[in-house]
Amino acid sequence: MEYSDKVFDHFTNPRNVGEIADASGVGEVGNAKCGDIMKIYLKISDDGIIEDVKFKTFGCGAAIATSSMATEMVKGKSIEEALKLTNQAVAEALDGLPPVKMHCSVLAEEALRSAIADYYRKQGKDPEAIMGCS
């Protein structure tokens, strides 16, 4: 199995690790395949920009590297742009993942969507109507 330099870099030196105490939205998801867990915290401005994002992952190296890259890719972006981020795009930004580890990258995408859904709920909005998921 081969990992790219970028995967190694983000695994050994992950960006945006931690928590946000007064987060606008928090998402937590588990990977059914391995039981790994990821939590993502978002700080969203009044005009819908992701000002800060932090994550915690109890998971494998690929999950940590994809979370790290995903947080970098959505920081400073609008919610709409963040919702367009796919696990494939994150994997590509890392110069690829071994095929058997692709499912690990889904964790970051799902945790991000879950945190945005939580944000909408806290705003009194229905995430299902806005995002097509709950």
Residue 60 designated active-site: no
Active-site choice (104, 115, 116, 117): 104
What is the SS3 assignment for 85?
coil
Residue 133 designated active-site: no
Binding range to ligand FES, per CB under 6 A, among 3-11, 22-30, 59-67, 116-124: 59-67
65 touches ligand FES by CB under 6 A: no
Task: Figure out which of the listed residues 42, 104, 111, 117 binds ligand FES, where binding follows CB under 6 A.
Answer: 104
Distance CA 120, CA 125 (A): 5
What is the SS3 assignment for 27?
strand
Choice between 32 and 129, CB closer to ligand FES: 32
108 touches ligand FES by CB under 6 A: no
Contact 72, 90 (CB under 8 A): no
79 touches ligand FES by CB under 6 A: no
DSSP annotation of 98 reads -
What are the residues whose beta carbons fall under 8 Å from the beta carbon of 100, sequence distance 6 or more? 1
Please give the residue ranges that form the binding site for ligand FES (CB under 6 A): 31, 33-34, 36, 59-60, 62-63, 101, 103-104, 107
Active site residues: 34, 104
